[in-house]
Each structure stands twice: as structure tokens, then as C-alpha cells.
Amino acid sequence: MENHYAIYYQNSNEVDSRILNISAVENGEEIFSENVNITHKFAWYRLHHFEGQETIITFKFYDAHDNKFLSEKTIVVNQDYVDNKLHINGLLEKVI
């Protein structure tokens, strides 16, 4: 889809026990936050419309047994990212 990109996460573990919190912020406001319980192979995505705005996407991982924080990954999507890095991560294309 034109002017869209996918916020995407894939897990290839046969067995897992993590909670993933995926959130996005634009202009200082959280536009979404979602918790996902990961127990096995898994893929998650959300299409996001892009009009040049900066979007800060954060992936936070917690242990599902004791809710202990494990790790965090932050991606900042802006015009520079779209122009110079997004193509490295692959493209979604409509197949008819």
C-alpha cells in the first residue's frame, strides 16, 4: 500500500514464554500499545500510514512467568529511515 509500512515482529522459537509490549508514539502521543503473549512461533504486524511524521516504535520483552523485564528495541521511523533504510527490511506488495 502506498504511503504505508508494516510494524512487524516474528518469533521462530518452537517454545517461548515472553510477553511483548509493542507501542508507537507520534508527536509525544501514544498512538497504540499492545501486549502479546508469545508461547511459540509467532508473527505480528500492523500497517501504519506514513506522511513524513516521526514515529517511535518500541518493543519491550518481559518474562511471562515473573514479568521481569528482559530487553527493549526502539526504532525511529522518519523520512530519512523511509528513504534510506526501510528498503533493506523488505517490502510488502499486493499480489493478485
47: β partners: 6
Whether this prediction's pTM lies above 0.75 is answered by yes
pLDDT at 89 over 80: no
What b/e string do you get for 17-48 counting C-beta neighbours within 10 Å, with b at 16 or more? Answer: ebbbebbbbeeeeeeeeeeeebeeebebeeeb
pLDDT of residue 6: 85
Residue 32 near residue 46, CB atoms below 8 Å: yes
Band of the pLDDT at 87, cuts 50, 70, 90?
A: confident
The domains located in the chain, with CATH, are 4-87 (2.60.40)
21-43 pLDDT, tens digit per residue, is 999 999 999 999 999 999 999 89
- The whole-number pLDDT of residue 94 equals 58
Alpha carbons 23 and 34: distance in angstroms, whole number? 6
How many Å apart are CA 83 and CA 95, to the nearest integer? 23
Each residue's pLDDT tens digit, 57-70: 999 999 999 999 99
